Amino acid sequence: MFTARLKAAILSPIAMHDFKKNSGRNPRQALDGFLSSSARSEMGSQTAKRQSLHLDGLKTSGRRVDDFRRPEGYHTTLPQTAQLGGKEKTKGKVDSSASLLHMTLPGGEIDAKAKKNRKRKKTKTPVGTWYAIRKWGVRTAMVLGVLILIVGGFLGIKAFTKIHKVLKGGGKAVALQANVKPELLKGEGDGRINVLLLGKGGDGHDGPDLTDTLLVASIDPVNKTADLVSIPRDLWVTVPTYGSMKINAVYANAKYRSLNTAPKDAQKAQNAGIAAAKQTVTDVLGIPIHYYGLIDFHAFQQAVDTVGGVDFNVPQSAAVTDYMYNEDTHKPYVLSVGAGQQHFDGLRALMYVRTRHTSLRGDFDRTERQRLFIQALSSKILTAGTYTNPLKISELMSAFGDHISTDFSINDALRMMQISKNIPGNGITSVGLADPPNNFVMTDAAGSASVVRPTAGFNDYSQIQNYIRNTLRDPYLAKENGAVAVLNGTNTAGLATSKSDQLKSYGYNVVNVADAPAHTYTKTVLVDFTAGKKPYTKNYLEKRFGVKATTRLPDNTIQATGDDFVIILGQDATTSSQN
């Protein structure tokens, strides 16, 4: 009520008119009757010289409504004749010597008139007390408001600056869109969002650019699930132009080679390293990599501490005891993590995901622990609402600084947050390449080096790709689950079988594999019997075989009962390089 009165008085037509009319004049006058000594006059002469004030026409005879010609200090709002002890009745008159602010306070002339024009409940609280409370409340609110703006603005600017430094953009995933049109998807697997996570030691550690942690976080935005796929750091790979090496050295070798040609272009060197790492992982797993995140030990440790640590139930297979060395403190560190509920601060978490000298499985067990911890950390961040807390975001960005790099843009990251918050804790699955019964890699030797290779043989990733593509099945392809028939229309023996196996590895529902009645097809034919009801499958098949679908079979003798799509392979399929 009092706030409304104060606001009404301040914004009254008299006050606003007087402010506009006289702004900039009489600079020696101050607010609320505080004047310099040269501007003061005696009270008696003020009464004699007072000029008439016309409130209805807002005329002041060339003067302000409130000329403030009064002694310094606080004055009551009684008319002047009453203050001087005179007997003159002043009821209903406005005293121009009283400031407009004082007249609006409880007991003032304007306040008294306002009381007559509305019904008000009686209160036993003294008017002076209400004024003091209101005055204190207004000032306190203003101070708090200013503090919030200053602190919030600082955090906002700080977070904004840091976020722009980290989220530079460059990657792209069509699946981030709310409504994905089929023609925008380049190929199978593009319906998911695949992020390559690379962890390195950073400055001050041995092999600072060796990416000893390699994980792919694959998000299904349709079914609101996610999978974490770990890649053994010792996997032996052959990289075009760079040669053969362990996969954890791909980023470093590409980066250093770029620095040799352009020593001052650090960003170009990092981009070269990232590009090589992303392409190598794509070649191994057979899925597209849309984004990357590169983080060093410092940022990982700080991130865990910023969210208050991580708690999760450690299975017996992930329990570990190891005697390690802390490169930061240059002191021994004893890591002891038993089975059951455990709490991890930043340092303990870092040591837990790094140790690998714990069993005969070595690096395979380490990748399992990494997936378990990342799952727990992701759940903690999502459930704690960290990404909606400006202070936490600012702290995380400060911790990351130059210790993290990614090609997410700000908009991409915001969209990822929207999708991720809908993924439940039990919606994150851990996927390993050496977890029984899915044993697709094994230890071996490459020269004098102990390495990991595919069980199918060096550089043969067919089994791995088949497993990963089906595990991380494209959600749009899986949702339509179109029945596909593959017919060989050439004289190349086994062509239909090899192509059908390839399609199955991507998660296609291949229901029939056979020879076509004729083997004279030069160009592959794709027939769609769904009347456009399965557009995503149609889009993928068209792009895979480089043809446009028709709705009629070229040969009436072909039986296609129950098939959604029929593919008649032509001679062009024998030379197709698409995998």
pLDDT tens, residue by residue, 22-58? 444 444 444 343 444 444 444 444 444 444 444 343 4
Residue 218 near residue 191 (C-beta atoms within 8 A)? no
Nearest to 112 by CA among 131, 96, 85, 91: 91
Q: Tell me which of 99 and 552 has the higher pLDDT.
A: 552
Q: Which of 106, 122, 138 is the last residue of a domain?
A: 122
Report for 2-16, 53-67, 418-432: range of highest mean pLDDT: 418-432
Q: What is the mean pLDDT of residues 395-404?
A: 63
Domain carrying residue 308 = 174-469
Q: Which of 469, 502, 530 is the last residue of a domain?
A: 469
| Interatomic CA distance for residues 197 and 199, integer angstroms | 7
pLDDT level of residue 387 (50, 70, 90 thresholds): low
Nearest to 462 by CA among 509, 492, 504: 504
* Residue 567 burial (C-beta neighbours within 10 Å; 0-12, 13-18, 19+): buried
369 and 267 in a common domain: yes
pLDDT level of residue 111 (50, 70, 90 thresholds): low
Q: Give per-residue pLDDT as tens, 442-490.
A: 999 999 999 999 999 999 999 999 999 999 999 999 999 999 999 999 9
pLDDT level of residue 399 (50, 70, 90 thresholds): low
Residue 577 near residue 221 (C-beta atoms within 8 A)? no
Instruction: Tell me whether residue 129 is in a domain.
Output: no
* pLDDT for res 171: 79
Instruction: Tell me whether residue 135 is in a domain.
Output: no
Residue 210 sits in a domain whose CATH number is 3.40.630.190
508 and 362 in a common domain: no
Helices marked H in 448-510 = 462-471, 475-480, 495-505
Residues 515-549 as b or e (16 or more Cβ within 10 Å = b): ebeeeebeebbbbbbbeeebebbbbbbbbbbebeb
372 and 329 in a common domain: yes
Out of 5-19, 314-328, 417-431, least confident range: 5-19
Nearest to 183 by CA among 539, 538, 481, 534: 539
E strand or H helix at 324, and its extent? strand 320-326
Residue 554 sits in a domain whose CATH number is 3.30.70.2390
308 and 180 in a common domain: yes
Q: What is the mean pLDDT of residues 432-451?
A: 90
Look up tokens 């851990």; give the residue: 430
| Interatomic CA distance for residues 351 and 301, integer angstroms | 10
Instruction: Tell me whether residue 165 is in a domain.
Output: no
441 and 520 in a common domain: no
509 and 442 in a common domain: no
Instruction: Tell me whether residue 18 is in a domain.
Output: yes
| Interatomic CA distance for residues 305 and 297, integer angstroms | 13
| Interatomic CA distance for residues 503 and 371, integer angstroms | 29
504 and 442 in a common domain: no
323 and 224 in a common domain: yes
E strand or H helix at 129, and its extent? helix 127-166
| Interatomic CA distance for residues 522 and 554, integer angstroms | 13
Instruction: Tell me whether residue 373 is in a domain.
Output: yes
Q: Give per-residue pLDDT as tens, 327-342.
A: 778 889 999 999 999 9
Q: Give per-residue pLDDT as tens, 113-133.
A: 555 555 444 445 455 554 554
342 and 265 in a common domain: yes
Averaged pLDDT score across all residues of the chain: 76
CA dihedral angle for residue 419, residue 420, residue 425, residue 426, rounded to 10 degrees = 50
Q: What is the mean pLDDT of residues 244-252?
A: 95
3-state secondary structure of 168: coil
Decide if pLDDT at 8 tops 80: no
Instruction: Tell me whether residue 505 is in a domain.
Output: yes
* Residue 124 burial (C-beta neighbours within 10 Å; 0-12, 13-18, 19+): exposed
519 and 453 in a common domain: no
Decide if pLDDT at 196 tops 90: yes
pLDDT level of residue 350 (50, 70, 90 thresholds): confident
Is pTM beyond 0.85 here? no
Instruction: Tell me whether residue 204 is in a domain.
Output: yes
* pLDDT for res 517: 94
3-state secondary structure of 212: strand
Q: To the nearest whole percent, how much of the chain has pLDDT over 90?
A: 39
The domain total for the chain is: 3
Nearest to 109 by CA among 157, 57, 164, 53: 53
363 and 400 in a common domain: yes
Out of 13-27, 425-439, 547-561, least confident range: 13-27
Q: What is the mean pLDDT of residues 195-222?
A: 85
Name 259's Cβ contacts closer than 8 Å, sequence gap at least 6: 265, 266, 269
Name 120's Cβ contacts closer than 8 Å, sequence gap at least 6: none
Instruction: Tell me whether residue 138 is in a domain.
Output: no
Q: Which of 441, 469, 497 is the last residue of a domain?
A: 469
* pLDDT for res 201: 79
Residue 529 near residue 211 (C-beta atoms within 8 A)? no
Residue 192 near residue 223 (C-beta atoms within 8 A)? no
**What is the distance, to the nearest Å, from the Cα of residue 180 to the centroid of all Cα atoms in its chain?**
20
Q: What is the mean pLDDT of residues 162-172?
A: 67
What are the start-end ranges of the E strands in 78-173?
A: none
492 and 362 in a common domain: no
Residues 137-176 as b or e (16 or more Cβ within 10 Å = b): eeeeeeeeeeeeeeeeeeeeebbeebbeebbeeebebebb
* pLDDT for res 43: 45
